[in-house]
Structures are given as C-alpha cells and as structure tokens.
C-alpha cells in the first residue's frame, strides 16, 4: 500500500547514500586522480576521475547504460562508483576554483554541466532502483527522499533543483499541492551545496525549465551528458527538441498549448508573463529551423489574440532515462535568458 511504499522510499535513502568499507581506503592519489583498488570491478570509464564535474559526467554515462536487466555485478559496480561522491563537496564544482591543484579554474559552464549531470544521474538511478512513480505522492517521495551523499551531507533531486539550479530563477506561484511537491528534500542538505545556492553561483537561465528532466512523462525520456565545451549548444538543441515535442498549435481553433512548466515559471520568460508574451518569448528562444517556432510564428501572424492553454503536468514517469543523441546546432546560440517568475494560471487564457 501507499504507506508502506513511502517507508520503502524513506529507508532507501541509506541504501543510496551508503559507501562500501573500502571507500575510506581508496584515496590513493596520483596527481589529481582518485584511483580505486584493483579488486573493485568498475567500468573502465569510472575507474579514475580528475574533478567532480568529470565524475558527474562519468556517473551519468554509467547509469544511463544500465537497465533493469543489468547483471548484479554491473549494478554493484555502479553503486560503488557513486560512493566516490563521499570524497567530494559542492565546493569542488564552484566556479573559479582549482580542483586538485590542476592549475586551471573551473568555468561556469563546467559547473552548470556538473550539476545537471548529477541531477539526472540521481533521478535515473532512483527510477532504476525503485521503478517509476505512478502519481503525485510517489513522484514527491522519489524526488524528496532519495539522496546521494557528499563528504559533508546529502542531497536529493529536489535539493539540486530548488536549492541550487533554480536559486536565481523565479519561485513558482502554485497551489499547495505543487508547493509540497517542489519542497526541498527531507534530509538536511549538504552545507556546501546550500552555500552555493545562497551565493547564486548558477546563473538565472530560462532554459533550465526545459533541460531539467524529472523523469515525468511531461519531459523527454532522453537526457544529454553535458560537457563543459558543449553545454551551451546542448541546452539549445535540447530545448528545441523539447518544445517541438510538447508545444501544440491548432491553426483551426487559433490556439496553442504550452508545457505547464512555462505557466509555473512564466516570469523566467518575460517580465510581465502574459500568455501572448509567453508565446512570443518561447518562439524567440528557438532556432530558426525549429518546427515549434514555425508553428508559433504562423499562429501569431494569423491572429492577434490566440487562445493560450497549458497542458496538465504528468506525475507518472518514464520507466528509465536514456542518453540523448541529438544534433548540436552549428550556428550562434539562440537562447534567451529570463528573469524571475511568479505566476500561476488556470490552464486556458484568452489574450
């Protein structure tokens, strides 16, 4: 029953956070790499890492390669690799730090890629471990009570999203149910992560509304493994595919249906956040070859007062996440970066 399922998820925190006994003895340093004992069977790409951003990308690659049919040794190897996070703090992915004395400070792009990868690794790991949530209660439990452990504490998917990645974007004005669902995790968040969030080290960026994949059916099932060199192009290409998938335009009825996340965080896209302004703002964020952009421009060209609707959010989730293999744009970036948002709609508005 639901009560026992909640207890199952609560008790799973320790399972995801636990580190094997060898972890405390694994800090054999060669330069900036952390080498594992030879007796630990890990995939080749997880054997050593040079920084937290590097580890986060390798962890995401590792978990996306797993499936419910994976062999127990492969699953155990990935769980062991996750415990390497216990040797890190969020300060290891702070912009302008010099990890491991490598002589090169981290860029803002490297840090953004790091936290997006860790978020998606944790969500993907949780879906594989516990299965997909089937409703809002289970969705909330998954995102608030499953955690990874850093050296100074834990973090859940909700902690990463609302304490750090959305620290400088808008706060949604939503009903009590959604406020509960987006609340921070139940375990105290790692102090180093909370400090990064309070300092606002992740820039306000409206694209975050589309590139964060919570596992919901209202998101794409595939996620990119972000890299420092390509994170901007990856975010632009990914939001284009997201909007091509979820923006629905009905030329006969002169209406457009936008994702619910646009309604929740309306002022991320425009200072006033009116429905027509949201349609225009979303259109300008998209590359010229985007199908969604062509449809939106055709709609606004034929009517000055389209009907704007917002699709209901799906709390049911994909069974697992997969790796996104989209084509990166070759031209200049097409992203618009927004401000803050405080808006909630009733699903349909005429402008």
For residue range 112-126, list pLDDT tens digits in order: 999 999 999 999 999
How much is the pLDDT for 308?
92
For the chain, the farthest-separated pair of C-alpha atoms sits apart, in whole angstroms, at 67
Neighbours of 31 (CB within 10 A): 9
Write the pLDDT tens digit of every residue in 164-192. Answer: 998 888 888 677 766 766 665 566 789 99
Let me know: does 331 contact 230? Beta carbons within 8 Å.
Answer: no
How much is the pLDDT for 80?
81
The full length of the chain comes to 351
What's the CA gap between 304 and 325, in Å, rounded?
A: 37
What's the CA gap between 5 and 77, in Å, rounded?
A: 26
Per the model's pLDDT, the better-predicted residue between 158 and 9 turns out to be: 158
Mean of per-residue pLDDT scores for the chain: 78
What's the CA gap between 23 and 16, in Å, rounded?
A: 14
Write the pLDDT tens digit of every residue in 246-287. Answer: 999 998 899 999 999 999 998 898 887 688 888 888 988 888
Q: For 214-242, what is the mean pLDDT?
A: 95
How much is the pLDDT for 39?
42
How much is the pLDDT for 148?
93
Whether the per-residue pLDDT at 37 is higher than 80: the answer is: no
Q: For 302-329, what is the mean pLDDT?
A: 90
Write the pLDDT tens digit of every residue in 131-162. Answer: 999 888 889 889 988 999 998 999 999 999 98
């Amino acid at each position: 029953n639901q009560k026992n399922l909640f207890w199952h998820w609560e008790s799973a925190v320790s399972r995801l956070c636990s580190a094997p006994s060898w972890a405390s003895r694994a800090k054999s340093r060669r330069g900036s790499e952390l080498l594992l004992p030879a007796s630990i069977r890990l995939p080749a790409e997880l054997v050593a890492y040079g920084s937290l951003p590097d580890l986060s990308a390798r962890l995401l690659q590792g978990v996306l390669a797993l499936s419910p049919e994976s062999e127990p040794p492969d699953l155990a190897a990935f769980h062991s690799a996750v415990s390497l996070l216990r040797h890190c703090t969020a300060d290891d992915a702070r912009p302008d730090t010099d990890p491991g004395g490598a002589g090169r400070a981290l860029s803002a792009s490297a840090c953004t890629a790091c936290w997006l990868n860790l978020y998606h690794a944790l969500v993907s790991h949780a879906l594989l471990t516990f299965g997909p949530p089937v409703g809002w209660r289970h969705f909330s439990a998954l995102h608030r009570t499953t955690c990874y452990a850093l050296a100074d504490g834990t973090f859940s998917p909700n902690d990463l999203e609302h304490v750090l990645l959305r620290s400088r974007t808008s706060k949604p004005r939503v009903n009590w149910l959604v406020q509960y669902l987006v609340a921070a995790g139940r375990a105290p968040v790692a102090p180093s992560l909370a400090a990064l969030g309070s300092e606002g080290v992740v820039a306000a960026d409206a694209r975050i509304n589309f590139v964060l994949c919570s596992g919901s059916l209202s998101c794409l099932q595939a996620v990119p493994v972000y890299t420092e060199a390509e994170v901007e192009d990856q975010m632009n290409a990914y939001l284009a595919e997201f909007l091509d998938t979820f923006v629905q335009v009905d030329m006969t009825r002169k209406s457009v249906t936008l994702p619910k996340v646009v309604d929740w965080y309306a002022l991320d896209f425009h200072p006033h956040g009116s429905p027509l302004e949201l349609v225009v703002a979303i259109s300008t964020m998209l590359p010229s070859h985007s199908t969604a952009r062509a449809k939106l421009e055709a709609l606004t060209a034929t009517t000055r007062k389209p009907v704007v609707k917002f699709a209901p959010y799906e709390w049911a989730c994909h069974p697992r996440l997969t790796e996104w293999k989209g084509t990166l744009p070759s031209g200049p970036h097409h992203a618009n970066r927004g401000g803050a948002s405080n808006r909630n709609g009733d699903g349909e508005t005429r402008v």
